[in-house]
Every structure is written in structure tokens, then in C-alpha cells.
Amino acid sequence: MTTVHNDTPSYASNPDRNLALEIVRATEAAAIRAVPYIGRGDKLGADGAAVDAMRTFLGTVNFDGVVVIGEGEKDEAPMLFNGEHVGNGSGPRCDIAVDPIDGTSLTATGRPNAISMIAVSDRGTMLDASSVFYMEKIVTGPEGHGVVHLDQTVAENIRELARAKGKPVADIRVAVLDRPRHEGLIEEIRAAGAHTRLMLDGDVAGGINAARHDHRVDMCIGTGGSPEGVATACAIKALGGLIQGRLVPQTDGERERGLAAGLRFDHVYSADELVAGDNTLFVATGVTDGELVAGVSTDGPIVSTSSIIFRSHSGTVRRIQADHVRERWS
């Protein structure tokens, strides 16, 4: 989908379309560097190679980015750790969320839907939910506004969304991570008369697909990573879709850390609470073939990448196909 808009940024100090075109080089680099690890069973090796490449390219970008969602705390992650400054220090001041590979297990096993992604918003607008790992989430397209809600039952959400979309419940497709914790949820979806689409991993792409007008999935629901929920919100805002999240601490200690960080429990976070304002970017490049973007492919001396850029300020989605000279990545 490409919509023509006047993309001139209202403030030169904010993330704009030119920044997106610079950042896509970092996701392309991470995806390309992960290729030798596809199907090799080494997810740590794949992640390490992608982190190195992404960090190197981000260092050349004309912006002052602070990693709000990264590879973890500084002591555990030598690069792209939470709180790290990236970029060359000039240009717009931004919060960023990075995942050099969303789907390291998918990469290691050679399965589809692994991506490299970066989300960007104005400085101070991205919720730092890193102290609580899990979040219950629901994502739909624009039809879900005022219709679905995490406080409703699964059956109610499916029924109301079907009514809003003007289709029978039997035609509703719901994406869910295939995890033991979701066994009851999967049963509820099927009992309501809807179909499930079980995902092995990669709920960022799953959430985005649920909000796309040209995708057959109508809803993505379940408990996944809270950092991924915040990153997904950056793309959903460009699509006009609905995303809600509720933090799910696993231990008393995690709850205490969340409270100390100012997080709220038993509260449904809206898109604007996950990422404040309407100036977000989301950039993803395919590592392995998937429904959101195609994976990296090689043809003799050429390496080809497929990327997608979402920009909420203009409501624009752009797809970028790029060919790279293979010997320069050796």
C-alpha cells in the first residue's frame, strides 16, 4: 500500500521520512549478516552477527537515538543495550526500539517470518516496559476501535469484530503464538466459531499483519513480550489499527520492579500510552520469507532484501526492494 501525502515534517527535529530511509540500511545489514546462520541451529550466532551489523550502521545515521527497548541491560548486552545512545549525535532526538532479529529460533531452524526491525518515536514518548517481560495484547485493524477490548471475553471480541467488519464469525481468523500458555485461549477462539492461525514465533509481524487491510488475519491476541508490544504499536499507529496491552508480571519481584519504574498493572494500555504522539516510524527487513516481507535472497553476485516502512505522521506504508553487491558483504 502506498498513499501519496505531503511528507514534509512539521518539525525538523522530529523523526521524518529521510530518517526512515537511513535506518532501513541498518535493518538490511542485520538481515544480510544473519543469512549464513539460517537453518544452522545457532540462534545466538545469528543474533550476534545481526547485532554487530545493526550497531555499526546505526552509528552512521544522522540522529541522536536512545535505545529504550534493546538487547537488555548494559551488563548483559555489550551493544544495543537499554539506555545506549546510537547515531552520530546530530539530527532528531529519538527513542528507539531495536530487535536485530525478531525470530532468532525461526532463523536458526530456517522457518519463515523472521525479521530485523527498528521502531522510532520522538524522544520521551516510548513506554519503557523492559522491567516486565510479558504483556497480554490484542491487535486489529481500524474496525476494532470502540469494538474490541482486552476486558471483554475472547468470544465477545470475535463476535463484535465480525459485526464491525460485516463478515460471519466463521470467516474470522485469529493469530496466536503457539505456546502451552495459550492452550485455553486457542480453545476459546475455536469454540467461538473462529479460525486460529498459530505462530511459531514473531508476534511483531503477527500483530502488524492483523492490522493490514490486505491480510487475511483479522486479529492477533495472546501474551507475548512487552517490548515487542511497544514496538508493534509504532507500526499500528501508521495503519490506523487498534492495539491494547496489559502487563503480566511473572513474579513478585518483577511486579515490584515494574511499580518502581512507574508501570501500571491491571491497566489496559492504549496505543497512545505505549507510544505517545503521532510521529512514529517502524522499519523491518525480512530475514527469512514471511507474510510481512520476503527474506534475503542471493543470485550469483547479488544479494536482495525486502523491507517495509510505516510512518504514522503521514499514514504511509512503503516497500523497498534493494539489490546489494555480494562481495561487499563478504
2 within some domain: no
Please choose, from the candidates 102, 79, 149, 93, the residue with its C-alpha nearest in 3D space to the C-alpha of residue 126.
93
285 & 269 share domain = no
Whole-angstrom Cα distance, residue 64 to residue 299?
36
pLDDT tens across 24-59, in order? 999 999 999 999 999 999 999 999 999 999 999 999
Run means of pLDDT, 10 residues per run, the chain, 330 residues:
36 64 94 96 94 93 92 67 90 93 94 95 93 95 97 98 97 97 97 96 91 94 93 95 96 94 94 93 96 94 96 93 85
Please tell me the predicted confidence (pLDDT) of residue 326. Answer: 85
Whole-angstrom Cα distance, residue 120 to residue 330?
29
Other C-beta atoms lying within 10 Å of the C-beta of residue 328: 8
Question: Does 42 appear as a known binding residue?
Answer: no
Cell numbers describing residue 66: 536512545
Please tell me the predicted confidence (pLDDT) of residue 74. Answer: 55
Question: Does 201 appear as a known binding residue?
Answer: yes
For residue 308, what are the contacts with CB-CB under 8 A and spacing of at least 6? 283, 284, 292, 293, 317, 318, 319, 320
64 & 119 share domain = yes
Please tell me the predicted confidence (pLDDT) of residue 80. Answer: 86
Please tell me the predicted confidence (pLDDT) of residue 82. Answer: 87
12 within some domain: no
101 & 178 share domain = no
Question: Does 73 appear as a known binding residue?
Answer: no
Please tell me the predicted confidence (pLDDT) of residue 238. Answer: 94
1 within some domain: no
Question: Does 3 appear as a known binding residue?
Answer: no
111 & 151 share domain = no
175 within some domain: yes
Question: Does 71 appear as a known binding residue?
Answer: yes
Whole-angstrom Cα distance, residue 296 to residue 288?
6
Question: Does 47 appear as a known binding residue?
Answer: yes
What CATH number is given to the structural domain containing 173? 3.40.190.90
Question: Does 128 appear as a known binding residue?
Answer: no
Cα 200 to Cα 91, 109, 179, 193, distances in angstroms = 39, 11, 8, 22
Beta strands in the chain (DSSP E): 64-69, 85-86, 93-102, 115-122, 134-140, 173-177, 195-199, 219-225, 242-247, 281-286, 297-299, 302-311, 316-325
Please choose, from the candidates 324, 328, 280, the residue with its C-alpha nearest in 3D space to the C-alpha of residue 95.
280
Whole-angstrom Cα distance, residue 313 to residue 284?
18
Whole-angstrom Cα distance, residue 228 to residue 198?
18
Residue 34 contacts residue 49 (beta carbons within 8 Å): yes
224 within some domain: yes
9 within some domain: no
168 & 182 share domain = yes
118 & 25 share domain = yes
Question: Does 299 appear as a known binding residue?
Answer: no
Structurally, the chain folds into a number of domains equal to 2
- Helix then strand then coil, in percent of the chain rounded to 5, is 35, 25, 40
Please tell me the predicted confidence (pLDDT) of residue 4. Answer: 31
165 within some domain: yes
285 & 250 share domain = no
243 strand-pairing partners: 139
User: Strand, coil or helix: what is 143?
Assistant: helix
159 & 249 share domain = yes
Question: Does 160 appear as a known binding residue?
Answer: no
Question: Does 180 appear as a known binding residue?
Answer: yes
172 & 64 share domain = no
pTM value > 0.85: yes
- Boundaries of domain holding 55: 18-124+280-328
266 & 144 share domain = yes
Cell numbers describing residue 159: 463476535
What CATH number is given to the structural domain containing 317? 3.30.540.10
Residue 148 contacts residue 168 (beta carbons within 8 Å): no
DSSP letters, 53-97, are HHHHHHTTSSSEEEEEESSS-TTT-SSS-TT-EES-S-S-EEEEE
190 & 219 share domain = yes
Question: Does 323 appear as a known binding residue?
Answer: no
